[in-house]
Amino acid sequence: MSGTIMDRRALLLGAGSAGLGMALGPYAARAVAAPLRFVYADNVVPFSYADADGNATGLLKDDVDIVTSAAGYSQTTSLMPWGRAQAMVRAGQADGFCTVPSADRAAYVQFCLQPVMTSDIGIWHRRDDDRFKSIGSLEELAAFRLGSYVGNGWATEHVDAIPTLAVVPEPVSVLKMLAAGRIDAFVHDELQMGYLARAAGLTGTLAYTPRPFLGQVVRTLAIRRSLPDCAAVVAALDAAILARRADLDALARRVRLGMA
């Protein structure tokens, strides 16, 4: 991703600070050097992973750089297993993360109202298999051999009880199982799996079909409720997300098109 990271930094630096100050309104006055300690799941390509020097990189980190900078903050970053990352925020040892809102997490963090990125959930299948274009419910989907990976929250919630569900340690193995015909379908969002399918050379074999009943993945910034002025920080971040929406969408588009 090194070449694309340079492009992303250009986006960060080239947006025009005067225009941002006007867009952020009263929150522009909050522009102080206040580092926010963000934690990220390790090795979740392309969202968060370590670069060649061991530093946090990826789409989520780039998005948070854009938002915090526009809101007058900076961020420090740490990579770790996702369970530990959440525990760090819960204990006040880190200030925030970017993930899918849930009731459990909302007990100890305040989520921004504006999402950082949204991607459709769809069905990954072999390119020569047209059976999934008309699927309209989970009940219909359950008739097929499905695959998933350890830690896939959507699958755990929605299809974990299906007897034919094959679960493997990581997502690339699911894509390879699908390409080999060992399973029929894999439910996931387009953004992450499209990136991994390209990297594994599987885009000629696999296809993605979005289905409205599967919903979306909405990734949102969250700040620990125990942070002083938490509500004000979240409000500033929300305003920054609105002001920099075009830049955030542009980064996601680059990943979707295989430019990252």
Tell me whether residue 231 is exposed, middle or buried, using C-beta atoms within 10 angstroms of its C-beta: 0 to 12, 13 to 18, 19 or more: exposed
Return the H-helix or E-strand segment holding 83: helix 82-90
- Distance separating alpha carbons of residues 178 and 161, to the nearest angstrom: 20
Q: State the sign of the Cα–Cα–Cα–Cα dihedral 153, 157, 159, 162.
A: positive
> What pLDDT is attached to residue 256?
81
* 3-state secondary structure (DSSP) of residue 189: strand
pTM: 0.80
* 3-state secondary structure (DSSP) of residue 72: coil
Which tokens go with 202? 């599987």
Residue 167 CB coordination number (10 Å): 15
Tell me whether residue 228 is exposed, middle or buried, using C-beta atoms within 10 angstroms of its C-beta: 0 to 12, 13 to 18, 19 or more: exposed
104: which DSSP letter? H
> What pLDDT is attached to residue 154?
85
Return the H-helix or E-strand segment holding 252: helix 245-256
* 3-state secondary structure (DSSP) of residue 119: strand
C-alpha 167: how far from its chain's center? 21
> What pLDDT is attached to residue 259?
54
Which tokens go with 190? 């387009």
Asked if residue 224 lies in contact with residue 108, where contact means CB atoms within 8 angstroms, the answer is yes
**DSSP-assigned letters across all residues of 5-51:** HHHHHHHHHSS-HHHHHHHHGGGGGG---EEEEEEEETTBTTTBEE-
> What pLDDT is attached to residue 164?
83
Residuewise pLDDT in 10s, the chain (260 residues): 333 333 444 444 344 344 444 445 544 444 444 699 999 999 899 999 999 999 999 999 999 999 999 999 999 999 999 999 999 999 999 999 999 999 999 999 999 999 999 999 999 999 999 999 999 999 999 999 999 999 888 888 888 888 889 999 999 999 999 999 999 999 999 889 999 999 999 999 999 999 999 999 999 999 999 999 999 999 999 999 999 999 999 999 888 876 55
Angle, vertex CA 165, rays to CA 207 and CA 182, nearest 5: 55
- Distance separating alpha carbons of residues 246 and 185, to the nearest angstrom: 33
Which tokens go with 33? 């050097």
